[in-house]
Structure 1
Amino acid sequence: MNIVVLVKQVPDSGAERSLRADDNTVDRGSASNVINEMDEYAIEEALKITEAHGGEVTVLTMGPSGATESIRKALSMGPAKAVHIVDDALHGSCAVATSKVIATALGRLNADIVLCGAESTDGRVQVLPHMLAERLGVAALTGARKLTVDGGTLTVERQTEEGYEVVTASTPAVVSVWDTINEPRYPSFKGIMAAKKKPVETLSLADLGVPASEVGFAGATSTVVDHAKRPPRSAGQKIVDEGDAGVKLVEFLATEKFV
């Protein structure tokens, strides 16, 4: 079973995050960058599948040169190798352009399963798995809380607000997972040391045959035109009960469109 796990380096969601003043993109240079949390669950699921059914896990990342740190962290968990798409022209790419570049790279890897997190903590749009499946012409099994592999058949429990749906498809397929699917392992010291020697292939846009005009700001279908920091939280409205507190509370809730 050949599995490719998509890994994205993102600013730590536990720290303050900001956008750059010059182009309104995420300021990664001044942030503490880590592996996108959901992707760690995808790595764990890939390792569990290969441990049970055999095969190999490859990590695929699109990001700046600094993303190498997250690649090595991912490899320390157990994957065999990695592919790093890095090119200055990629800066400012929208989800549509990102999906084109990643799909092109995936076309070279012949994956039976493409695993990824259901969303990234910096974008949170949840569209990339669907876009990749469309570009690759394969099934999209998204939002999985459980994944079962039976030969070339994949069955997932797709998490919903009401419960879950059972969805089945044949490989190859794109599967995105939530953090309810497993508990990621901690890298061992042996794994950390081994990760330093695992192969990491670097690919540019030229290597993939993707024109620079179709990515970055030049090829973006959407862009952030302005941004502002969240205003500080103000004091709440205090209601003094003079016999009509219930009425005032309902009026406030109605004004805020809660009722």
Structure 2
Amino acid sequence: MNIVVCVKYVPDATGDRHFADDLTVDRDDVDGLLSELDEYAVEQALQIAEEADDAEVTVLTVGPEDAKDALRKALSMGADKAVHVEDDDLHGTDVMGTSLVLAKAIEKTGYDLVISGMASTDGAMGVLPALLAERLGVPQVTLLSEIRVEDGLVKGRRDGDAASERLEAPLPAVVSVTDQSGEARYPSFKGIMAAKKKPVESWDLSDLGIEAEEVGLEGARTAVDSAAARPARTAGIVVTDEGVGGKQLAEFLSARKFV
């Protein structure tokens, strides 16, 4: 069984993130890392592979040169090989273009099951799995907190606010998993060393038969029209409780229509 895990190299959420002059996310001035939500997808892929008689896990990403760091993290967790799609013409690609590139790469690698996280921690759109399934022409089973594969079916549980659903779909299929699916394993020293020897293929748009006009800022179907820096944090109001602190707090909340 061929399992492909889509992962993303994202800016560190604790860093000073901002837009570049062309209103795309500036990824040069902030450290990046493997999206935390994608680590859950890698973990579930590895667990499925461990239960299968013959399975291979490929991690796939689209991004700049530094995105290889995300692939190495996934390989050190236990994935077998990686594919990196890198091309200067990909700059500014939106989710529609990204889904096209990933779908072409997935078709090129071959797959039985595609797994992703529930969303990226930078874009946070959460629609990529559905777009992938549409482009690949296969079923989608998304937002799973539990997943397994048996008898040619992928099965899982989706938890809602008031109820849980049991879902299944025939392979090949696309699934996404939530952060409730199980804690991702921490790479061991042995895994980190082994990752250095695992194959990482590099493809560009020509390898996938995609024209530059289909992706990037030119091919994007969404755009940021304007952006403004978040206002600086102002000093708070300190309430000294001398017997009327509760009243002062209530007045503060009431004036701002919080109560």
- Does the alignment reach a TM-score above 0.5? yes
Find the counterpart in structure 1 of residue 134 from structure 2. Answer: 134
For 1:194, give the aligned amino acid.
Answer: A
Matched residue SS, 1:158: strand
Give runs of aligned pairs for residues 36-55 of structure 1, distance below 5 A.
36-54=35-53, 55=55
CA distance in 2, matches of 1:227, 1:245: 36
Q: SS at the partner of 2:108?
A: coil
- The separation in 2 between residues aligned to 1:238 and 1:198, in whole angstroms, is 56
Which secondary structure does the structure 2 equivalent of 1:108 belong to? helix
Q: RMSD value over aligned CA atoms?
A: 2.3
Alignment gaps of 5+ in structure 2? none
Q: Find the aligned partners of 2:30 and 2:253 in 1 and give their Cα distance.
A: 43
CA distance in structure 2 between the aligned counterparts of 1:236 and 1:196, rounded to whole angstroms: 49
Partner of 1:3: 3
Q: Counterparts of 1:9-88 in structure 2 under 5 Å?
A: 9-20=9-20, 22-54=21-53, 55-88=55-88
Query: For the residues of structure 2 that align with 1:161 and 1:63, how far apart are their CA atoms?
Result: 35
Matched residue, 2:154: 154
Amino acid of the structure 2 residue aligned with 1:53: A
CA drift at 1:28: 1.1
Size of the aligned set, in residue pairs, is 255
Report the equivalent of 1:169.
Answer: 169
Question: Residues 245 and 70 of structure 1: is their aligned pair in 2 closer, same or farther, counting only changes over 3 Å?
Answer: closer
- Larger mean Cα displacement after TM superposition, 102-111 or 83-92: 102-111
Q: CA deviation at 1:166?
A: 1.6
State the secondary structure of the residue aligned to 2:83. strand
> Which deviates more, 229-238 or 179-188?
229-238
Which residue matches 1:89?
89
In structure 2, the CA distance between the partners of 1:229 and 1:53, relative to structure 1 (3 Å rule), is same
Q: Deviations over 1:161-181 (max 9, x none)?
A: 334222111111111111110
In the other structure, the counterpart of 2:121 is 121
Alignment partners' CA distance in 2, 1:24 and 1:246: 40
Return the TM-score normalized by structure 2. 0.90
1:148 positional shift = 2.1
Amino acid at match of 2:47: K
CA distance in 2 between partners of 1:158 and 1:250 (Å): 38
Where in structure 1 are there 5+ consecutive unaligned residues? none
Cα distance per residue 1:18-70 (max 9 Å; x no partner): 211x1111111111100000111111110101101130100101001111112
- TM-score normalised per structure 1: 0.90
